[in-house]
Amino acid sequence: MTSDYILIFARALEQAFQDMLGVDLVAGEVREIGDEPIRADVSASMTLKADSQHALVILTFDADAAVDASQLMTGERNTVDHPLVADTVREFLNITVGSAQRISAARFQFSLPISVQGKNHEVSGFKHGRSVCISMQWESSRHVKIFLNLQSN
C-alpha cells in the first residue's frame, strides 16, 4: 500500500456521501501532513494491513459536519456528543474502507473502527510514518478530512 491509496479512499468516501446522504463532497488536493497533529471534533480510525504494510485510515469531521451527516442519515437531530453521531462517523469509515477494498487491486485486512468525540481532540497515528490527507467539504462550512497514515518499515 502506498500513499496513492488516499485517492481510492477519497473516491469511496465521496460515493458513500452521495449514495447515503445525497451530498456532493468537494475534494481538495492531496497534502502531506508531516509532523502536524491531526485534530477533529469527531473522528474514526481503522488499521489496515496489505502486503505486509500497516496503515491507519482516519476520518475526521468538524462538529457541524458530524451532526448534519448524522441527521441526514438517521433523520434525528442530535448534539455532537450523542453516540449516534459517533456511530455515523464509524459507519462512513466502514463503508469507505469496504468500498475502497472493492475498487482497489490490493487486498487488505482491517480492524473494527474506533471513534472519538471531543472538541478539537488530537488523533494519534503511527509515530514513525508518512501521512497524507484530502480535505473535503459540502456547503461552505461542513468539513470532512480523510487521512492515510503509513507505518515506516
Tens of pLDDT, residue by residue over 62-95, are 999 999 999 999 999 999 999 999 999 999 999 9
What CATH number has the domain bearing residue 107? 3.40.1550.10
Whether the pTM exceeds 0.85: the reply is yes
Q: Which of 63, 74, 15, 64 is nearest to 39 (CA)?
A: 63
Tens of pLDDT, residue by residue over 87-119, are 999 999 999 999 998 988 778 888 888 899 999
Kindly give, in sequence order, each residue whose CB lies less than 8 Å from that of residue 140, ignoring residues fewer than 6 positions away. none
Kindly give, in sequence order, each residue whose CB lies less than 8 Å from that of residue 143, ignoring residues fewer than 6 positions away. 61, 62, 65, 135, 136, 137
Range of the domain at 135: 5-151
For the chain, how many structural domains are there in total?
A: 1
